Amino acid sequence: MYLEESYRYTPSTLDRLAANRVDWRDVEWVLRYQRPVIRERIGVSLLRIIGQCQHFGPPWLMVILRETEDDIYFIESARYLSAQETEAAQRTLGGQL
């Protein structure tokens, strides 16, 4: 985790995770512990983080977050990557795995 960042859930976040069949423990793992990850800014307030899961679901997860204040992020949604997307993420990270 980056030193100053805070990640927060809302009731609608949990509904979206359930709709996508994403285990919240995978979200926690990717955001707080997994390194390296792919971090991409989308516009001004959105952040996409892609990382490898520990063991609760398929191997890779993409999490979309919305920054509401400096370094305070609300988890908007998450989904597991397809096999093709996983290969692309692995290529992006190259030798860092």
pLDDT digits (tens, 9 = 90+) for 5-26: 899 998 899 999 999 999 999 9
| pLDDT given for residue 95 in this prediction | 59
**pLDDT digits over 56-65, tens only?**
667 899 999 9
Matching CATH number, 6-96, of 3.40.225.10, 3.40.50.300, 3.10.450.530, 3.40.50.2000: 3.10.450.530
pLDDT of 1 above 50: no
User: What residues does each domain of the chain span?
Assistant: 6-96
Contacts of 12 (CB under 8 A, 6+ apart): none
**pLDDT digits over 71-88, tens only?**
899 999 999 999 999 999
